[in-house]
Every structure is written in structure tokens, then in C-alpha cells.
Amino acid sequence: MNRPRRGVRALHVLYPVEDVQIRVAQQRIVGENQNMFNDPAGDPFSRIARELTTEPGPTATYESATATAVAVVEGCDHAGITLVRKGRRIQTVAPTDDTASRADLLQQEVGEGPSRQSIGEHETVHADDLLVDDRWPQWSKQAADGLGIRSVLALQLFVGPREIGSLSLYSRTPGAFTPVQRATAQVLASHVAMAVAGAQEQQALESALVTRTIIGQAEGMLMQRLGITADQAFAALVRLSQARNRKLHLVAGDIVENGLRPDLLA
């Protein structure tokens, strides 16, 4: 009598069937590309990760991500990214074309759709055929009839403490995103999230360096003009910042750009 293998049986107990299919697909991707995975120079995902992390900032990283999605995920015809920044409205970025842009914007207009669900529910959202899927009736009908979109895959992106998003893949073909394609997209999404987080951190460090440089220049000007120490110059900048209810680096920037006007020293 044939018995199910314990490993497979346990896997089905621990994870839903959908997750098992994704994991099997991920293993298949590794198996089919074993030589490339053994050789980091030939690993397509390593190349993608390197390309994403060398982009000059978050915006360029997003643009590279959506273009890569169309290139490497079979069946993906259009791609876009939806972002929700803390305290701000939803924003669509880096669409590969007008169809992706309209599909993302349509979700904002009707208040429903796969990207919004992915962000709100913290999950991957997949629809094989929008003509029969009833989760987003308004969006699905307009996306299918007006934009020619039949299947969709939306993957959540965790890109920082103040920002979350969704990488949305659209196809003109029903059932385009098989378990293998969904696994590929999930790997890509994880690389995108890490690359964007790194780009944001680098951007923050560069901004902090510029800010500190400007403050240092303003301190030097105050020290030279007033014959005071560095600590006294910094304290003077703090007082000016408080008196004008402006950020310290902005006050320092005014001094560096416009000089020590009499009203600043009053």
C-alpha cells in the first residue's frame, strides 16, 4: 500500500495548498538553474539584485523593478508599483506603460482592487481571470473591458517604517501567473524591497551629510564674524531656529546662501 511521504504530508498540514505550490515552484526554479545558482555570476536573481542595488535612488529602483518584472516574469505584460506613505495619499510610481498606470489609478478612483487589497491585508493577491473574479467588481470590469487586463498578481512590498507598497503585475492572458511565475515574482519582490530600503538609507545618509556640512559652514561664519567658539555658534543657530520656528538646517542654509544679515544677528 502506497503511503504519502511524511515530508509532503507535513508540508500540507503546515501550509495551505497554494503556499505549497509556490514553494514547490521555487524549488523547481532553483533546480532548473542549479548551475547558475552555483555560479553567482550566472545566477539571474543575483544579477537582478546587483542591478537593483546599483540604481541611484528609490525612484530609479522602482523603475528598474517594474521593467524587470515584465522582462523576467513570463506572461506579465504590464507592471506598476503602488505606494502608501505614512500620513499621505496613495501614489502610483514607475508604471511600465499607460495600461499599468491606468490600472493602478483606477483602483484609487473606485476604491478597490488587487494592489489596495495587497497593501491593506498584507498579502499576495492573485486573480486568474477578472471576468469571473468577483472580489473587486467595479475595478475588474473596467480593467478587463477597458484595458484588456485578464489576470493580475499583486505582491506587497515592505520598503520602510513609513512606507509600504505593492508590486502589481498585469497580463492580457487569463491564468498567466502559474505557481512558477508567482514564485519568480515573489523572489523579485523581495529583492526590490531590500534594494529600495538600501537606497532610502543611503539617501538619508547623504542628506544628513549635506545638512551637517551646511550647519558647519554657518557655524564657521558666525565664529569668524562674532569671534565665538564652535559651541557658542551652534547655540546661536539653535536660538535663531527657535525664534523663527524653522528647522536648524534651513536657518543655517539662509546664512550660508545670504550671509550674516543684520536682521539675523538682532
Which of 234 and 135 is assigned the larger pLDDT? Answer: 135
Give me the mean pLDDT over the 38-58 stretch. Answer: 65
pLDDT at 35: 41
Backbone φ and ψ for 176, nearest 5 degrees, come out as: -70, -30
CATH class of residue range 205-265:
mainly alpha
Q: Among the CATH numbers 3.40.50.1970, 1.25.40.20, 3.30.450.40, 3.40.50.2000, which is that of 11-203?
A: 3.30.450.40
Give me the mean pLDDT over the 23-41 stretch. Answer: 43
User: What b/e sequence results for 162-190 when a residue is b if at least 16 CB atoms lie within 10 Å of its CB, and e otherwise?
Assistant: ebbbbbbbbbeeeebbebbbbbbbbbbbe
User: What b/e sequence results for 79-118 when a residue is b if at least 16 CB atoms lie within 10 Å of its CB, and e otherwise?
Assistant: bbbbbbeeeeebebbbbbeebbbbbbebbbebebbbbbbb
Encode pLDDT of 52-65 as tens digits. 777 677 888 889 99
pLDDT at 30: 42
pLDDT at 77: 98
pLDDT at 264: 64
pLDDT at 43: 58
Side-chain-side CA neighbours of residue 50 (13 Å): 8
The answer to whether residue 12 scores a pLDDT higher than 70 is no
State the first-to-last Cα distance of the chain, in angstroms, to the nearest integer: 95
pLDDT at 95: 97
Give me the mean pLDDT over the 157-174 stretch. Answer: 88
pLDDT-derived band at 204 (thresholds 50, 70, 90) equals confident
The answer to whether residue 41 scores a pLDDT higher than 50 is no
pLDDT at 229: 92
The answer to whether residue 228 scores a pLDDT higher than 60 is yes
Model pTM greater than 0.85?
no
Domain borders along the chain are 11-203, 205-265
The answer to whether residue 28 scores a pLDDT higher than 60 is no
Give me the mean pLDDT over the 36-59 stretch. Answer: 63
Strands of 163-171's sheet in order across: 90-93, 78-85, 163-171, 151-158, 125-127
Looking up cell 523576467 gives 72
Select from 59, 145, 72, 153 the least CA-distant residue to 102.
145
**How far apart are alpha carbons 116 and 104 in whole angstroms?**
9
Give me the mean pLDDT over the 219-226 stretch. Answer: 90
